[in-house]
Amino acid sequence: MASGRRLSERWFTLFLWLVALLFAWFLIGLGSLVVGNMPQVEHRYTLQQFLDTEDARPADEALKQIRREQADTLRQDEQDQLALEAARSASLSAQETFTNWLKTRDATQRVDQDPGLVARTQQLDALKAAERAIEERLEARASARLTLSDREEAQEKVVGDLRDAAQARLDAAEREQELRVFGYRLAVTLPLLILAGWLMLKRRRTRNWPFVWGFALAAIFGFFVELVPYLPSYGGYVQYGVGVVLTLVAGRAAITALHAYNERQKAAELRPNAERRTEIVTDQALLRLAKKACPGCERPIDLANPEANFCPHCGIGVFERCPACSHRKSTFERFCSACGTPAAEPAGAPVGA
């Protein structure tokens, strides 16, 4: 048999565990909202708050002025490029016209006295001079662009250095802010974890145990899942550090409990058989027998042997004969399963559930 508890009691126990889990789930949801909204108690920092305005503003204005000059130079270059193309087109057209005119000109006329030839030559020279003037302006502006580019590079370095310094101060301020927010979260979750530990030690066996377990599960989840990951640099140390401490405490408690249990078992085995049976609850004894273990010392025993009425390890009586029908039954059964005769219980024997 698995247990002496009633079927309805088992279902009620399962329902209470469901209540505990639901209570923990609602607490976890509430805690997630509270912990997640903790950063709102602090204002968000920006890079502009940490820039040295006395140096940063003139540097930004100088950089903007350089870029405005570069934009103006680019626009002038575009205009001169259009003008140069027009001048070259006019010069080429005039050169072709002049060449055609020379072919049709009277070959016997003296060139140095031909006013038409002189005028056309001067016109070509003027067009070439205008073309050259535009090219010179483009060359001068290219030199100016190079100078502006050097100035821009130097000014960008100044602005970049100022921003790097401001970024370093911003990072430091954000780390301090993260620590403060972590402190707020720790101030909320750590007392809950301590309270959960106290409740588990003192109240887990009371009638309100589902709420105790639900609160404990929510507190553990809030500490290890909702709190620790908010610090990526230190969260792992906190998580594993707390895990090490809890493992040491739980392990030490388990070792102490094991030694105490062994000492109690050794002392119990020295007491009389009847006295020892009065200290074992019926349901617990029957559950151990169902697992083929001794109800007293919990060592394995051979239940298939009809002659084995006592535990060979501790000597406690395990089976006896019913005084009414001589049926072999467990000494821990309150009634004979064959005839229903009550067992003769020693005074003060505990009653099973």
With tokens 């609850």, the residue in question is 281
Identify the pLDDT of residue 1: 35
pLDDT at 353: 34
Tell me the per-residue pLDDT of 292-326, one tens digit each, with 9 for 90 and over. 888 878 788 877 777 778 888 887 888 888 888 88
Least confident of 26-40, 125-139, 300-314: 26-40
Round to whole Å and give the CA distance between 228 and 244. 15
pTM here is: 0.42
* Residue bearing the bigger pLDDT, 104 or 224: 224
pLDDT at 232 over 60: no
The DSSP result for 134-151, as a single string, is HHHHHHHHHHHHHHHHHH
Among 29-33, 46-50, 227-231, 262-266, the range scoring the smallest mean pLDDT is 227-231
The pLDDT of 132-137, averaged and rounded, is 82
Backbone angles phi, psi at 196, to 5 degrees: -65, -40
Q: What is the pLDDT of residue 162?
A: 82
Among 115-124, 139-148, 180-189, the minimum mean pLDDT is found in 115-124
Dihedrals phi, psi of 10, to nearest 5 degrees: -65, -40
**What per-residue confidence (pLDDT) applies to 213?**
87
User: How far is Cα 205 from Cα 80, in angstroms, rounded to an integer?
Assistant: 94
Cβ atoms 324, 317 nearer than 8 A: no
> Which DSSP letter does residue 339 get?
T
Convert the pLDDT of each residue in 151-189 to its tens digit: 888 888 888 888 888 888 888 887 787 777 777 777 777
Least confident of 202-206, 222-226, 306-310: 222-226
Report which of 67, 70, 66, 84 is spatially closest to residue 141, judged by C-alpha positions.
70
Q: Is 137 exposed, middle or buried (0-12, 13-18, 19+ CB in 10 A)?
A: middle
Cα-Cα-Cα-Cα torsion 291, 295, 299, 303, nearest 10 degrees, comes to -60
**Across 234-248, average pLDDT:** 72
Do residues 294 and 316 touch, judged by C-beta distance below 8 A?
Answer: yes
Rounded to the nearest integer, the mean pLDDT of the chain is: 76
Instruction: Give the pLDDT band (50/70/90) at residue 3.
Output: very low
